[in-house]
Amino acid sequence: MSIQILPGLFLEEDELKVTYILASGPGGQNVNKVATAAQLRFDAARSPALSDRIRTRLIELAGSRATQNGEIIITGRRFRTQQRNREDTIERLAELIRKAAHRPTFRVATRPGKAARQRRLDGKSHRAGIKRNRKVRLDD
């Protein structure tokens, strides 16, 4: 079974390792007995589905969730059931990969035009005039 991240980009289920751990939060007395939090491990460094560009950006975006080996660890404990937490972690990984696959647009730095500079200076002098008129003048 494969998970579609983007058109043309699929992750195989066997690349994802999901384990269950004890979770804090809602669940009442059951929280101490049942391991409902899902911990997803994805080896991004060795995944055949990712291109080199996406792989490096993904590890960079993951930040503290990435290990030295290039493995990404995502923990989900928002919900009370294992299944919902598992789906949540997979969706969060997919969103992270989508963000890594997006190419940021290249911005060319431009200078403000002459009219824009003049409007800025006019606005500054207008404010200065307002503040100058607020001063109390003492006539001798």
Chain centroid, CA 16 distance in Å: 20
The low-confidence residues of the chain, meaning pLDDT below 50, are none
Query: Which pLDDT score, from 0 to 100, does residue 5 have?
Result: 79
Helix (H, G, I), strand (E, B) or coil at 101: helix
Q: Kind and range of the H or E element at 21?
A: strand 16-21
Query: Which pLDDT score, from 0 to 100, does residue 137 have?
Result: 74
Specify the amino acid at residue 60.
E
Rounded to 5 degrees, what are φ and ψ at 72? Answer: -105, 130
> What is the C-alpha end-to-end distance of the chain, expressed in Å?
91
Query: Which pLDDT score, from 0 to 100, does residue 28 have?
Result: 66
Contact between 94 and 3 (Cβ < 8 Å): yes
Query: Which pLDDT score, from 0 to 100, does residue 73 have?
Result: 92
97: closest CA among 138, 49, 132?
A: 49
Query: Which pLDDT score, from 0 to 100, does residue 63 have?
Result: 86
